[in-house]
Structure 1
Amino acid sequence: MPILSRSLMTILMVSYAMPALAQDAPLQRDATAATKQAQAAAARDLPPPDPRDRDFASRGFIATWPERIIRQDDGRPSMDLGGNDFIEGDAPDTVNPGLWRHNSVLRNEGLYEVVPGLYQVRNFDNSNISFVETPNGWIVIDPLTVTEVARSSFDLLRQHVANKPVLAVIYTHSHSDHFGGVAGVVDPADVAAGKVQIIAPEGFTDAVTSEWVMAGNAMGRRSFYQFGLFLPRDPRGHVGMGMGTAIAAGEQNFIPPTREISHTGETVTIDGIDIVFQMAQGTEAPVEFNFYIPALKALSTAETATSTLHNIQTLRGAEVRDAKAWAQALTEAQRMWGDKAQVLFASHHWPRFGNDTIRTYLAHQRDAYKYIHDQTVRRMNMGETPAEIAEHLRLPQALRDDWSVRGFYGTVSHNAKAVYDRYMGWYDGIPANLNPHPPVARAKRLVDALGGAEALHRAAGAAFAAGDYRWSAELAHNGVFADPADMQSRRLLADSYEQLGYQTESAVWRNIYLTGARELRQGPDAYPSAGPSALAQATPFGDLLDFVATTLDPERAGDTRLAFNLVTAGDGKQFGVTLGNAVLVSEAGHVIAGAPTLTAPKPVLLGILYGQLDINAAIGAGQASLTGEEAPIAQLVAMLDMPQLDFAIVEP
């Protein structure tokens, strides 16, 4: 198999993570007087701490990993369990007090007994792994992001509870921190032999392999910002991610489901344990379900209800989620099991206990998404723009006082914009915004209109001195885009982003702002290398060819016309490929008569198309076979423009 390029393999991976381990972060600033005042005001606005959170987060503790770092096979860190040990006492001036409090509860890590027969390992990764005990084995729920932490979690369970085999694995939804570590708890051969079931929502594999194919490179780059993967874990840097403390690094795998759940009320019995499913498609993930275990009176809300307001549109980039459907799914869960459940557990954060607590929690979670949806639509229909709605929309007091729907991950602000976008698209209705100048041209005109760079510096500096960091950031951003060598604008912009990051309650916003400041000061960090992904093998080759079409450079293609056939070795699937009018078209199951035909395994075909493997070398090594001339294929390869992960964000 050829080694594909870093950017291509990132596209083929569902996540691309390294832990945000402590490292030098030069030029970090203290909180300004204005930020200290903002933090004090934020602290006064916080609701009283809910003592149940700390109780629920610590209840049933059994043990944790004996070392503070879980390591990969080669000794590199997979997860630093001590990375959040600095979160003690009162919030420092550089961290929003609400976010600090959230992480002070969230940081508890290790193996917990939720109720007899139900266990969780929390904070070995961004997400939770849960285990249901049966008479003869274990049901594993959401086996984390990478093999190493999933294996460590299962080892801890077997050591302290019961050494039994895995009978089934449940993937609650199609995000990689809930399935990528599956090889740490089961052997794929046992799945193939029918010894282990893999249960997931209907359409799971398609959802997994489609989300990151087309926009994978852009999502990957923006994920470094959203998750703050290069920020030091300290009070001036990475303070969690809202959903968890950090993302583990290591080996990812993908084992497709052996059984897909298709309708609400469907029941699966595993070794005498009944599990009743509720479909929640199109909510937090394209495919997702909640489920109830009657024997334990336990409700799993997957990621439809956690301990934070979630994203209607994730800032790394994704399709806009349906806030109305999300609320309806929680209403249905409340109706089905709200009067029965005595414990509620989720794929992130800590569980909740007691029927009254659960019913109130579900109602508030539902109401938050429904309120944001309904009130955004109301304001939209009254003519407000996304920015106006986001600026003024606030949750009702009862919801603001509930810590479980505060904006540690998603925010009312960007969720309102997402609801608007779902209905109305990108255009806000203002004619001046219909066809504005692109960022660099706009920035240069703005700087000129202000009277030049020095005038911009004075205005941005005055805004910064006044504590108006949103305005100083906007001005300095235009200074950087007008002239990337303008060091005063760069310094002002970095300093503005930093103070905005310190002040925000959202861990995601904090990570984005602080990563922007870091890159302005020292440039982008070196990206970790990526190897071939098991997910690539599960991605249909036709989907990958559709992505290849998006890399065609029309200037290089010109008016060239060509045609050839591709055949994936093993399954013999055929694809006719044509180029004309600078449009690349691939047709599954179609053979172009008289055209050259290249046959090879899928990774070899991709390696050839991306110029990572010479076609003649592959044929000579027996990795590929060709009938006809290689010229059309070689011509196409020269026209493809591979995306790179290090494209600029905070500068042009």
Structure 2
Amino acid sequence: MDRIKWLLSQIAFVSFFIVAINGKLDVSMSKDGYHVADVYEYLENPLSKMTDRTKSSDKLVGYTGSEFLKREVLKVGSNVYVAIGFALANSIMIEGDDGIIIVDTTESTDSMQEILTEFRKITTKPVEAVIYTHFHGDHYRGTLVIVEERDKLYPNATINIYAHDTTESFIIQRIDPMFEITMKRALRQLGHLLPKFEGARTGSGLGPEFRSDSSNARYTGRPTITFSDREKFIEAGIEFELLFTPGETDDQITVWLPNEGVAMPGDNIYKTFPNLYAIRGSPARDCKQWYQSLDRTRALGAKYLVMSHTRPIVGRKEVYDTLLVYRDAIKYVNDQTIRLINKGYLPGEIVEEVQLPDKLFEHPFLQQHYGTVEWSIKGVFTNMMGWFSGDPKDLHPMSEIDRSVRLVRLLVNAQTNKACPIEVMLQEAEISHKNSHSHYISTGKHLVTEDKWALELVDSILVLDGLEDSVIETARRIKISALTALGVEEVSANGRNYYLTYAMEIEKNLSLVRSKESRAFSIKRSPIDKILELQCLKVKGLECQHENYVIVLVFTDMEKTFVVTLRNSVCDITETVLDEVIGDVSLSTTSDVYRNIQAEYTELNDEIVRGNVKVTKGNVDAYINFVKCFDPVNSI
């Protein structure tokens, strides 16, 4: 009740001053809240329309039109057919000697019936099996059509349904405590309720538009044959393998036809930037798991790649190169986010800093029509660090109503006093904090909302350039004091310690960074592969985006050889056999010498002179230039 009274008093205070500002804006209180008089001509209708043409919308319309809006069945290789444009997802038919296999059945029985009608123009062979690439509804909800046809033509026959061991449990989980909100957000994400504008359809990023019908909930087609990692099967004379390749989902599989050279990776790749985080609401995807699964698919050496969304890729080199650039984009976003997290960047700062290398940014499979780099960065941050950004303001953020009322008051003061905006903000911050402190002196309790507001204001000031030293110093003092007040009012020891330590860091110019000696100690005791992995997470962003390196490191004491590659500002490590390696430069040394170099106990050139590092191929300058593309291992 006291809280409500306080808010009403603030609103009344703001209203009084706004009315008094030269009559320019008449705002007064009514029993329903604010009333804005007709002094200013306010919008009667929205200015922007869904049909407004922009560069972005034209690009999305063009992409949707070229990829999805023509309904067609494409033949891939000798016996694979993919139906595109009928639904959000594709459905794929594999024709065998005496039957067919259907891979994915779309999101609706209506769309699957239309597709089956087209497939039946190609063959009348019975459906022997269905394969689900993963549990998303647009890949299994049309199965009823397949089953009904089989029951009608072959009443005593059964259809085998293949999926990963975990797929059925994921399907069951679709009806969960979060269903109501995820359904609402999914409708927004997919644009299910939006009108379709002739000649200007933007689709859903992965297909035309999501289709649904009343029969969706009646039958899911439960898997009858499952597998765990990799297994061979035969149906209708078709030899195929199923590989566990978790990526967009944790149950994702790749269907591999070795005799035909056809790989079907489900939703692990499509012709748009991957959806590393789905805004409909779900845990962010595991980037490392995803790009490693793409590596597994790439290793198949497929001649054809038939995806469950967008059009197929033809040609062994084209398939390999596209999978490579796609996984590089995922790894780049993942690694750069981790690199900047360790440097202390906040999520918004990482978003501003990380941009795709030119080759990735311009690639047709990485246009951000579905997933985006920004959302992906935030997903990686959340996976690694959880919800807390690291900024103490975010421990107990201000409520929106508090912030709104105070912003209005701030604008009133600025317009009334005709003062410099920064001066108004600084004064408001100091007044708020002093109010809190005065309350503490009289009652023994700080007004934490006042301190939160002071903190927000001074942080907004301190990010600006060109400030006078006196302004910066005053803002720093307010921040230190406000953080301290919030700390002593915090009942959680974790929160209290965080606030007070953060204040101390500012006041005493402390840097909570491990010393080089401490990092060196860890490096000296780490396995070589872990040191190499750490180095790969330290690529200097876009600095070497146009440079390619293949470095061979031979560790004689371990009898192990590692290949370290750099391309597209993405670093990878592979343990291999020396005879199989072709690199720009090869170095031979021992693991202890290499650790000493990375710990910065010694220099590479000195160890070469001593004979502890041998350049067995190429020029050491190539290795030195390669190393310059990374932050030192013994650094943050």
TM-score normalised by length of structure 1: 0.53
Match of 2:261 among 294, 297, 302: 297
Match of 1:217 among 162, 175, 180: 180
Which residue number corresponds to residue 259 of structure 1? Answer: 225
Match of 1:275 among 235, 240, 247: 240
Distance change in 2, residues 1:208/1:188 (3 Å): farther
Q: Displacement, 1:195?
A: 1.9
Q: Secondary structure, in 3 states, of the residue corresponding to 1:186?
A: helix
Q: Secondary structure, in 3 states, of the residue corresponding to 2:259?
A: helix
Which residue number corresponds to residue 99 of structure 1? Answer: 60
Q: Displacement, 1:101?
A: 3.0
Q: 8 Å contact 2:98–2:237 — kept in the other structure?
A: no
Match of 2:395 among 434, 438, 462: 434
In structure 2, how many angstroms separate the alpha carbons of the residues matched to 1:27 and 1:310?
A: 37
Which residue number corresponds to residue 278 of structure 2? Answer: 314
In structure 2, how many angstroms separate the alpha carbons of the residues matched to 1:452 and 1:193?
A: 81
* Matches for 1:617-632 after TM superposition, within 5 Å: none
Q: Displacement, 1:409?
A: 0.3
Q: 8 Å contact 1:146–1:249 — kept in the other structure?
A: yes
In structure 2, how many angstroms separate the alpha carbons of the residues matched to 1:188 and 1:389?
A: 53
Which residue number corresponds to residue 384 of structure 2? Answer: 423
Which residue number corresponds to residue 371 of structure 1? Answer: 332
In structure 2, how many angstroms separate the alpha carbons of the residues matched to 1:287 and 1:192?
A: 32
Match status 1:130 vs 2:96? no
Which amino acid in 1 is paired with 2:172? Answer: T
Q: 8 Å contact 1:149–1:184 — kept in the other structure?
A: no
Q: Displacement, 1:368?
A: 0.8
Distance change in 2, residues 1:193/1:379 (3 Å): farther
Which amino acid in 2 is paired with 1:319? Answer: P
Q: 8 Å contact 2:100–2:236 — kept in the other structure?
A: no
Q: 8 Å contact 2:57–2:202 — kept in the other structure?
A: no
Distance change in 2, residues 1:351/1:236 (3 Å): closer
Deviates more, 1:134-143 or 1:179-188: 179-188
Which residue number corresponds to residue 162 of structure 2? Answer: 199
Which residue number corresponds to residue 358 of structure 2? Answer: 397
Which residue number corresponds to residue 202 of structure 2? Answer: 239
Distance change in 2, residues 1:450/1:204 (3 Å): same
Q: Secondary structure, in 3 states, of the residue corresponding to 1:377?
A: helix
Match of 1:154 among 108, 116, 123: 116
Distance change in 2, residues 1:427/1:211 (3 Å): farther
* Structure 1 residue ranges without an equivalent (≥5): 1-25, 33-85, 456-652
Q: Secondary structure, in 3 states, of the residue corresponding to 2:256?
A: strand
Match status 1:110 vs 2:110? no
Deviates more, 1:320-329 or 1:109-118: 109-118
Q: 8 Å contact 2:303–2:314 — kept in the other structure?
A: yes
In structure 1, how many angstroms separate the alpha carbons of the residues matched to 2:63 and 2:185?
A: 24
Distance change in 2, residues 1:437/1:236 (3 Å): farther
TM-align CA RMSD:
2.7
Which residue number corresponds to residue 513 of structure 1? Answer: none
Distance change in 2, residues 1:434/1:153 (3 Å): same
In structure 2, how many angstroms separate the alpha carbons of the residues matched to 1:383 and 1:163?
A: 62
Match status 1:226 vs 2:189? yes
* Matches for 1:148-187 after TM superposition, within 5 Å: 148-158=110-120, 160-187=121-148
Match status 1:444 vs 2:400? no
In structure 1, how many angstroms separate the alpha carbons of the residues matched to 2:103 and 2:285?
A: 23
Q: Secondary structure, in 3 states, of the residue corresponding to 1:214?
A: coil
Q: Secondary structure, in 3 states, of the residue corresponding to 2:226?
A: strand
Distance change in 2, residues 1:268/1:92 (3 Å): same
Distance change in 2, residues 1:189/1:132 (3 Å): closer
* Matches for 1:472-483 after TM superposition, within 5 Å: none
Deviates more, 1:400-409 or 1:167-176: 400-409
In structure 2, how many angstroms separate the alpha carbons of the residues matched to 1:442 and 1:208?
A: 42
- CA shift digits 1:262-287 (9 cap, x unpaired): 112x1111122111122123x20121
Distance change in 2, residues 1:290/1:204 (3 Å): same
In structure 2, how many angstroms separate the alpha carbons of the residues matched to 1:377 and 1:31?
A: 39
In structure 1, how many angstroms separate the alpha carbons of the residues matched to 2:48 and 2:197?
A: 13
In structure 2, how many angstroms separate the alpha carbons of the residues matched to 1:193 and 1:446?
A: 72
Distance change in 2, residues 1:439/1:161 (3 Å): same
In structure 2, how many angstroms separate the alpha carbons of the residues matched to 1:117 and 1:356?
A: 21
In structure 2, how many angstroms separate the alpha carbons of the residues matched to 1:426 and 1:288?
A: 26
- CA shift digits 1:154-208 (9 cap, x unpaired): 01110x2111211000000010000011011223985996621000111111111
Larger Rg: 2
In structure 2, how many angstroms separate the alpha carbons of the residues matched to 1:119 and 1:310?
A: 24
In structure 1, how many angstroms separate the alpha carbons of the residues matched to 2:401 and 2:308?
A: 42
Q: Displacement, 1:392?
A: 2.4
Distance change in 2, residues 1:27/1:125 (3 Å): farther
In structure 2, how many angstroms separate the alpha carbons of the residues matched to 1:436 and 1:287?
A: 37
Match of 1:145 among 95, 107, 116: 107
Q: 8 Å contact 1:345–1:352 — kept in the other structure?
A: yes
* Structure 2 residue ranges without an equivalent (≥5): 1-43, 417-636
Which residue number corresponds to residue 602 of structure 1? Answer: none
Which amino acid in 2 is paired with 1:313? Answer: Y
- CA shift digits 1:534-577 (9 cap, x unpaired): xxxxxxxxxxxxxxxxxxxxxxxxxxxxxxxxxxxxxxxxxxxx
In structure 2, how many angstroms separate the alpha carbons of the residues matched to 1:212 and 1:443?
A: 37
Q: Secondary structure, in 3 states, of the residue corresponding to 1:295?
A: coil
Which residue number corresponds to residue 355 of structure 1? Answer: 316
Structure of greater relative contact order (alpha carbons < 8 Å, 6+ residues apart): 1
- CA shift digits 1:578-632 (9 cap, x unpaired): xxxxxxxxxxxxxxxxxxxxxxxxxxxxxxxxxxxxxxxxxxxxxxxxxxxxxxx
- CA shift digits 1:509-539 (9 cap, x unpaired): xxxxxxxxxxxxxxxxxxxxxxxxxxxxxxx
Q: 8 Å contact 1:211–1:318 — kept in the other structure?
A: no
TM-score normalised by length of structure 2: 0.55
Q: Displacement, 1:331?
A: 1.0
Distance change in 2, residues 1:189/1:129 (3 Å): closer
In structure 2, how many angstroms separate the alpha carbons of the residues matched to 1:103 and 1:453?
A: 48
- CA shift digits 1:328-352 (9 cap, x unpaired): 11111112x12xx211111000000
Deviates more, 1:283-292 or 1:236-245: 236-245
Which amino acid in 2 is paired with 1:232? Answer: P
- CA shift digits 1:485-523 (9 cap, x unpaired): xxxxxxxxxxxxxxxxxxxxxxxxxxxxxxxxxxxxxxx
Q: Secondary structure, in 3 states, of the residue corresponding to 1:404?
A: helix
Which amino acid in 1 is paired with 2:306? Answer: F
Q: 8 Å contact 1:377–1:420 — kept in the other structure?
A: yes
Which amino acid in 1 is paired with 2:241? Answer: V
Which residue number corresponds to residue 328 of structure 1? Answer: 292
Question: Hey, which bits of structure 1, 4+ residues long, moved more than 6 A?
Answer: 452-455
Which amino acid in 1 is paired with 2:304? Answer: V
In structure 2, how many angstroms separate the alpha carbons of the residues matched to 1:229 and 1:444?
A: 36
Q: Displacement, 1:441?
A: 3.3
Which residue number corresponds to residue 501 of structure 2? Answer: none
Q: Secondary structure, in 3 states, of the residue corresponding to 2:176?
A: helix
Equivalent pairs, count: 367
Q: 8 Å contact 2:74–2:82 — kept in the other structure?
A: yes
Q: Displacement, 1:214?
A: 2.2
In structure 2, how many angstroms separate the alpha carbons of the residues matched to 1:454 and 1:242?
A: 45
Q: Displacement, 1:320?
A: 1.6
In structure 1, how many angstroms separate the alpha carbons of the residues matched to 2:347 and 2:365?
A: 25
Which residue number corresponds to residue 608 of structure 1? Answer: none
Q: 8 Å contact 2:191–2:209 — kept in the other structure?
A: no
